[in-house]
Amino acid sequence: MGKIIAIANQKGGVGKTTTTVNLAASLGVLEKKVLLIDADPQANATSGLGIDVQEVELGTYQLLEHTISAQEAIVSTNSPNVDIIPAHIDLVAIEIELVDKQYREYMLKEALKPIVDSYDYILIDCAPSLGLLTLNALTAAHSVIIPIQCEYFALEGLGKLLNTIKSVQKLHNPNLDIEGLLLTMFDSRLRLSNQVVDEVNTHFSEMVFKTIIQRNVRLSEAPSYGETIIKYDASSTGANNYLKLAQELLSNNS
């Protein structure tokens, strides 16, 4: 059975999409079959995998509305072993449309049931909020990866997110685990970066991935070419970091 992992943090700019796209690509290179679900109306994961967002006709929006099946929403990408359910700006409307629906938190979970066995990993790129879209992702997921940038205010909002995860565990998904906290945008030259690493490890030692994602120019250039870091520059620090993360994830789940 495939493992569904949500990549979530209500703070923007912490490396959620970068992590989702490049972890998916790294797992694909390691010969795992991966589905990426873009659950962010900004649709950056969709464009990051080389898909023209303007041309997306079927995707996460229709999937959550249950007007199409998951199978119909899946698009293959040029990244080996990686498929995607793309997003479009119309996904913004789903929060309002779902609000009156019964079982509104379970729409994604239900939609994924028929395909969960077709993949080794299903990664969900969450929106930078704790709204209905993210709740659907957390209700559908087996575990959650929380990216934390190595900058000032890194831990601000983390308590809120952990509380949301707790209430999802209590109300909707008792099996939801925290896969790990992932430190991103690390710059070894900055004292602050090192302080954040120490602080996160002190407070959450067991929960933190050993792999740290370093600040890397190639990593931030890749999306503008619609490519993953593996395709854009396989020898870069960024590619190396995400391959290590994929290997760590696989060994944690073996």
C-alpha span between 181 and 201 (Å, rounded):
10
C-alpha span between 155 and 15 (Å, rounded):
14
Check residue 2 and give its pLDDT.
Answer: 92
Provide the H-helix boundaries in 30-106. Answer: 44-48, 60-65, 70-73, 94-98
Phi, psi of 76 (to 5 degrees): -85, 155
Q: How confident is the model at residue 8 (pLDDT cuts 50, 70, 90)?
A: very high
218-243 tens-digit pLDDT:
999 999 999 999 999 999 999 999 99
Phi, psi of 28 (to 5 degrees): -65, -45
Check residue 159 and give its pLDDT.
Answer: 84
- Per-residue pLDDT at 161 exceeds 90: no
180, 184, 189, 193: CA torsion to nearest 10: -60
Work out the average pLDDT over 208-219: 95
Domain ranges in the chain are 3-252
- Contacts of residue 99, defined as CB under 8 A and 6 or more positions apart, other chains included, come to 132
For domain 3-252, the CATH architecture is 3-Layer(aba) Sandwich (3.40)
- Per-residue pLDDT at 99 exceeds 90: no
C-alpha span between 6 and 108 (Å, rounded):
12
Percent of the chain scored above 90 by pLDDT? Answer: 75
16-71 tens-digit pLDDT:
999 999 999 999 999 999 999 999 999 999 999 999 988 888 999 999 988 999 99
The pLDDT mean for the chain works out to 93
- Contacts of residue 84, defined as CB under 8 A and 6 or more positions apart, other chains included, come to 35, 36, 37, 38, 45, 46, 49, 51, 74, 75, 76, 77
- Contacts of residue 160, defined as CB under 8 A and 6 or more positions apart, other chains included, come to 10, 130
Check residue 156 and give its pLDDT.
Answer: 81
